[in-house]
Structure 1
């Protein structure tokens, strides 16, 4: 890949994905450059539907189809990121089916703004998150790829769910989307109109707590597969998991109120997560053990002994 293409990709990732970018910096160069390109490609597609500037659905679909054609080599790339992505696709044998599945998920965002059940949301994430995990695994080239991929898929879904839970306010205000399953909202007595009005309630907090708990199960399953990645990739992926999951602490500290303000990580908090993860990794190269020690995700044993975790909801102060 040309350096200017890598630099363009890196700039996009640094501007739009600062949390993941921090973890990416610890990847070995052979994977780090490819990660910049993958992330930039994902972001370009995402911006077609998230930052459309009043583009009509037909225009958005046409833009996504052009991206698809360029990404799979059916059309000459018109962007340095897409040119670099084409090189990655050939070098690492990235399956066109994964690219198509990802683009299809982006197209879903054009007209779908609500998901009835978690199964419906999971189907969407098969493209928006799982395909990302599959492609990331491909560029890391683990020896036991078939074993690593299912965990990578699950970890990708965990990251995506954290984004959904963190961005409830932004998604409804800027895109009229609610990714929390409607079924979960009903089970906790939440009318979607309350979210549209940014109206916090203990019922909403209960729905958030339930989805947070579900997401933390995904983290535990996903992190269990980090051991199957190349040794020089394990710490960076673990760091990404710790950083994303740290949003859960902020969400809980806000009493699950993500409607009044978005739960964000300060630079100091990110650096603290980084420091404690690296310190424990120095003494114990077991990803699951380190994640249990330093992350915001309670252990499975804790959830079993304290079934109220994720269900008992504090009143917002």
Structure 2
């Protein structure tokens, strides 16, 4: 049984380091919410081994990740409440050892690799850093037909991570000396690594960013298409997470793709408004794809935004009531967080 201490530690880590995901997690049913705190904490603990490793030799980073792997798989005892809770969670929910290994292997990749030549190469890395995370979350949610849900969970996990990569271009260079934009895309649009490291905005960089945004948005559409395969009490929270993460694309486009001078951040009021708008549409239509098109900034597959996307007005039965409900929901969500 997962310890209360492990859940509390996980919740504290998520609240401190993953504010957007924490907001979406709050809407999960308790049986999944507490497990999600533990999962997130394990991911962060492993991630910080390589992300906060200033001055730590690579050999020591690898040794620490192998220690985490052994504890997570229950192969070695641990006094770390996060690792102990994750090991219990893995057994309780039947999380595949292969997904744990794939995730840790991706963290090991971060120790020595900081450039990705092709998108295929980047996607292979994300199989551990993002797709495996989606598969573990799916195991915790326990859908009736996991074979149907898993491909979509993989796509959505990749979309979340790619949005983070696109948002954090400057931060990844400054703090970690990493570039997650595929070098082949940069080269195609005439962007040199030197120009990127000097944070030089150019027409070519804007085109490269737009290319990767479109690629990521295709993954959002693929991922959201599978939300209906999840248990009913998990669908709205996952949909909210997709809407919130995708909203970084709106920010990036509004800034004319400038993620080099600063890192775009979604404000708290904007997040709460998006959650309230998503809940309003969800009350009238329980189709995740339709609600996502109505609320998110992601255009439909034709490349044209849905007429009501991002505005919350199209096809609402009563806009006056909608506005009052929206205001009330924002106030309630403000207190929730």
Which segment is superposed worse, 205-214 or 193-202? 193-202
Let me know the Cα RMSD of the aligned residues.
1.1
Q: Does 1:98 align with 2:99?
A: yes
**Divergent runs of 4+, >6 A:** none
Gaps of at least 5 residues in structure 1 are 306-317
Tell me the residue number matched to 2:327. none
Distance 2:305 2:275 in 1: 28
Tell me the residue number matched to 1:274. 275
- Compute the TM-score of the two structures, normalised by the length of structure 2: 0.89
Distance 2:218 2:193 in 1: 25
State the Cα distance separating 1:302 from its structure 2 match: 3.2
State the Cα distance separating 1:199 from its structure 2 match: 1.3
Tell me the residue number matched to 2:43. 42
State the Cα distance separating 1:4 from its structure 2 match: 1.7
State the Cα distance separating 1:78 from its structure 2 match: 2.6
Tell me the residue number matched to 2:245. 244
1:182-206: CA deviation from partner (whole Å, max 9, x where unpaired): 0000111100111111111111111
Larger RCO (CA within 8 A; separation ≥ 6): 1
1:143-292 to 2 correspondences below 5 Å: 143-292=144-293
Tell me the residue number matched to 2:115. 114
1:213-246: CA deviation from partner (whole Å, max 9, x where unpaired): 0000000000000000000000000000000000
Contact kept, 8 Å, 2:299 with 2:305, in 1: the verdict is no
Tell me the residue number matched to 1:81. 82
For the residue of structure 2 that corresponds to 1:39, the secondary structure is: helix
Contact kept, 8 Å, 2:143 with 2:230, in 1: the verdict is yes
Contact kept, 8 Å, 2:298 with 2:305, in 1: the verdict is no
For the residue of structure 1 that corresponds to 2:256, the secondary structure is: coil
Which segment is superposed worse, 113-122 or 195-204? 195-204
Distance 2:182 2:305 in 1: 24
1:157-203: CA deviation from partner (whole Å, max 9, x where unpaired): 00000000000000000111000000000111100111111111111
Tell me the residue number matched to 1:126. 127
Distance 2:248 2:44 in 1: 21
1:263-293: CA deviation from partner (whole Å, max 9, x where unpaired): 1100011011111000000000000000000
For the residue of structure 2 that corresponds to 1:6, the secondary structure is: helix
